[in-house]
Structure 1
Amino acid sequence: MAGFHLDDTIAAVSTAMAPAGIGIVRISGNDAFEVADRVFRAKKEGKKLSAVKSHTIHYGWITEGEEVIDEVLVMVMKGPKTYTGENTVEIDCHGGVLAVKKVLEAVLNAGARAADPGEFTKRAFLNGRMDLTQAEAVMDVISAKSAYALKSSESQLRGTVKKAIRAIRKKLIYEIAFIESALDDPEHISLDGYPKRLAQVVAEQKKQVEKLLASADEGKMIQEGIKTVILGKPNAGKSSLLNLLAGEEKAIVTDIAGTTRDVLEENLVLKGISLRILDTAGIRKTADTVEKIGVDRALEHAKDADLILYVVDASVPLDENDAKIMEILKGRKAIVLLNKSDLTAVIEKEEMEQKTGAPVISISAREETGMEELEEQMKKMFFQGEISFNDEVYITNARHKQALLEAKKSLELTAGSIEMGMPEDFFSIDLMNAYEELGSIIGEAVGEDLVNEIFSKFCTGK
């Protein structure tokens, strides 16, 4: 975005470049109405878009010279009550790729500049229409892969993160200002007993930061999906389970043990929850070099899994390979699936609950039973059955998490300085660092390079 200027009038296609019912070309900037007037011919002769009321729709044609390009509806919106805070025109034309492209070309030839990726939202941020967390939520809404991810992004778009961060910053800046005032005017402002009061404020705000950080792991799973690793011995039915969950044949299934050699990943949505499911090689001792690599990869993925689905063939006894897997499950979120419940079972549900301490569900991948209970258990295990996005704030962005960690560190340093009886100016240095780290989350303390980096990830037209 090296050539970015707020004075430019920009334009881009805001809908997918694919055959559709309609396509939208968006224009934003000081000269948006004048640019539109150069290409728009209203049904009512002489009508100028620059002279009509705001937030109105007008019927006519887009033309270039004598050529009529398309029949359109044009929406006129005057700033600052627009998405970008600027004068905005949206041209609704027919959704054919060529028609949309020609309308955009006409608009660019009439004086607009092609918008950079994310430039409309960047302008909304720079014009104060939204903070940085809301701007980032726009892209999260567009790329949401599940109902929960969509709700979380919409909640952030409404300003839940901004509200929480601003509440903490308000408390901190009050204390910073008080310290600075007292140091400048010690005759009138006393700091007697102040460290004790400040320690309480710092502890309270640190607790608020920790509350936000506590939501980060759950927030990451909401946004990116729960990393779910399927573990089990060869021929336990792991690949059959993946195929059943996916609703199609994703993995090769045979009666030959060790068919799955590599990790197979699939993104699924179950009960509104996004899952990144990894089917892995069967866990067993093997002399086969390729299979051994597959087993090692399975164990490696299990280390950082959010959830392990341990598939057990209930028709055969447990052995040392099962013991190895059960050792991996210790202290981890896991669900044990007693597969092949359609056959005579030699392993009891109660036995597996005792050995693993994890919930156990009887399933049959062949008969397609037990899936509903599995889905409900996953939902209960991660989100206590439901997620409410009305009051809860979820941190879903790695940048936000890092800033919160830095803010927490600065608050801990402040608490340490108070405990050691350090001079008050030491308090304000660390408090200001925490204040600025939190400000970087909502865009009130960020440099141009970071802003450019964030918006460069957006799609063009947004």
Structure 2
Amino acid sequence: MENLNDTIAAISTAVGEAGIAIVRMSGEESVDIIDKIFVAKNKKKMKDAENRKFVYGHIFDGDKPVDEVLVVKMKGPHSYTAEDIVEVHCHGGIVAVTRILNLLLENGARLAERGEFTKRGFLNGRIDLTQAEGIIDMIKAKTEVSFDIGLNQLSGSLSTILNKMQDELISMQALIVANIDFPDDEIEDATYEELEKRYEGIVSKIDNLLENSKSSRLLRDGINTVILGKPNVGKSSLLNGLLRYDRAIVTDIAGTTRDIIEDYINLDGVLLKITDTAGIRETEDEVEKIGVSIAKDKLKDADLVIAIFDLSRKFDDDDKEILSLIKDKKHIIILNKDDLPQEISDEEIKENFKDDYLKLSVMENESIKEIEDLIKDMFFDGEIKISSAGVLSNIRHINALKEAKKDLQAVKMGIDQKVFLDLIAVDLENVINHISEITGTITTEDILDRVFSEFCIGK
């Protein structure tokens, strides 16, 4: 376990060829350590340098110059970690940054762990846990929309809603305490009525957050999309069309795709994690059987299934199995190859697909656009936007708020049955604790380890 009193150091930019790289330190010895290896052009020590102003000079290893650099110090508590921070801006590349980092470590710093800079900012009260998670969301974002969700969370919009909710719950507790301290039958009846009124307001806010959480999570994490169908119906052609390049091999030979092919598509700012699967059919080929089994497993976690059927081939038992596999999943049915002679009769289409299908050719650009528009309509009513209010998109947050709602329902049951007020207070305390877990007001080392282990070293 890390010692939070240590001065830590790490490379904060990606290691590789670049114009500039940054090595960062945080801790009370940061300035003393940099003064051991940095010689400014003006010969002044960094401890005497102006706060937040770059100083030009050289890093030395003894008498040997290592690199020409700019150094800046940022005095706590007005810094990223709320501690003293020193950054060395040096030439990019592996050699320079590694040499400088090693010199910092040799002179008293410790190599930072994953997310330790941000963790110190949280522990020192500069940000709460939801804001820290917003930072990692911004770093990992693959689209502008998911980046904006992280930025929204970093701004504290979700924290504001949760803190206000917590204040309201504490106010309910205070009402109970007042009644217990000054018991009176009329006051007690009024207390139950007031508690129910406040309950309604809080549960409405929780329901709104949870209601919007699914679309928010999809905007943040992307839509897990699986392409399903018999062999040679056009699955790989659809994948290539959506990606706008030839990612999968397309041939007339059935069973070409035996393994899973995964890639990402930026759909007007929304990420589609799209999976092309092996064709679903009865087969004696052991390798193909494994591919079919994996394809069915992928359906379990799919947010969307795109099922493709070939109009130019007879409708058979394999097609029926595919329909049974997708009946409980959000799906798009594509009747492909409508440019070829039709072998599935209109009666079979009406019987098996009703009106739930697109009839097209995935080889045409217009068809790809039609599929993309349908996906946006299905998940976002055709318009992709982020609310300026708090966005609940993190699974940890969603699960904690669901637990809070369960305990809040116990509060409502207690109010309806007019149980002893101190019992209602216990359930209220449980609600408050679940909300506090989200913001990090109350947390455990296990939660912190899981959150900050997702960060890169140097952040």
Alignment match, 2:16: 18
- SS of the counterpart of 1:190? helix
Amino acid at match of 1:235: N
Shift of 1:183: 1.5
Q: Is the 8 A contact 1:271 1:375 kept in 2?
A: no
Counterpart for residue 139 of structure 2: 142
CA shift at 1:196, angstroms? 1.8
Which residue among 272, 275, 279 is the counterpart of 1:275? 272
Deviation of residue 329 (structure 1)? 4.1
Q: 1:390 to 1:226 in 2, by over 3 A?
A: closer
Q: Taking structure 1 as reference, are residues 339 and 436 closer, same or farther at Cα in structure 2, changes over 3 Å only?
A: same
Aligned mate of 2:129, from 117, 127, 132: 132
Structure 1: gaps spanning 5 or more residues: none
Q: Using the TM superposition, give the Cα deviation of residue 429 of structure 1 relative to its aligned residue in structure 2, in angstroms.
A: 0.4
**Deviation digits for residues 267-320 of structure 1 (CA, Å, limit 9, x no counterpart):** 333322212222223334445555455444434433442111122223345444
Corresponding residue SS for 1:56: coil
1:229 counterpart SS class: strand
Say if 2:26 is the partner of 1:28: yes
Q: Percent identity?
A: 42
CA contact (8 A) 1:162 1:442 kept: yes
Aligned to 2:77: 80
1:363 aligns with 2:361: yes
Give yes or no for contact 1:363–1:369 (8 Å, CA) kept in 2.
Answer: no
- Alpha-carbon offset, residue 26 of structure 1: 0.7
Q: What TM-score comes out, normalization by structure 1 length?
A: 0.91
2:23–2:88 contact (8 Å) kept in structure 1: yes
- Structure 2 letter corresponding to 1:159: G
2:222 aligned partner:
225
- Residue type matched to 2:447 in 1? L
In the other structure, the counterpart of 1:430 is: 427
Aligned partner of 2:456 in structure 1 is: 459
Structure 2 partner of 1:196: 193
2:89 is the counterpart of 1:96:
no
Q: What residue identity is the alignment partner of 2:417?
A: M
Give yes or no for contact 2:241–2:362 (8 Å, CA) kept in 1. Answer: no
Counterpart for residue 262 of structure 2 = 265
Matching residue of 1:414: 411
**1:387 and 2:348 are equivalent in the alignment:** no
Equivalent residue letter for 1:110 = N
Question: Which residue does 2:120 correspond to in 1?
Answer: 123
1:41 pairs with one of 39, 42, 65? 39
How many residue pairs align between the two structures? 458
Q: 1:262 to 1:183 in 2, by over 3 A?
A: same
Of 282-291 and 152-161, more deviation after overlay is shown by 282-291
Q: Tell me whether 216-225 or 423-432 shows the greater mean CA deviation.
A: 216-225
User: In structure 2, do the counterparts of structure 1 residues 299 and 149 end up closer, same or farther at CA, with 3 Å as the change threshold?
Assistant: same
Higher deviation after alignment, 240-249 or 153-162: 240-249
1:173 matched to which residue of 2?
170
Q: Tell me the CA shift for residue 94 of structure 1.
A: 0.3
User: How far did 1:423 drift?
Assistant: 0.7
Are 1:310 and 1:335, in contact at CA under 8 Å, matched by a contact in 2? Answer: yes
Once the two structures are overlaid, the 10-residue window that deviates more, 344-353 or 74-83, is 344-353
Counterpart Cα distance in 2 of 1:349 and 1:55: 73
The 5-angstrom pairing of residues 51-62 of structure 1 reads: 51-62=48-59
CA distance in 1, matches of 2:347, 2:112: 62
Mapped to 1, the partners of 2:389 and 2:314 lie a distance apart of 46
Q: Does 1:244 align with 2:260?
A: no
Q: How does 1:207-222 map to 2 (within 5 A)?
A: 207-222=204-219
Q: Is the CA contact 1:73–1:93 (under 8 Å) kept in the aligned structure 2?
A: yes
Alpha carbons 2:152, 2:388 under 8 Å: kept = no
Q: Which moved more, 1:355-364 or 1:438-447?
A: 355-364
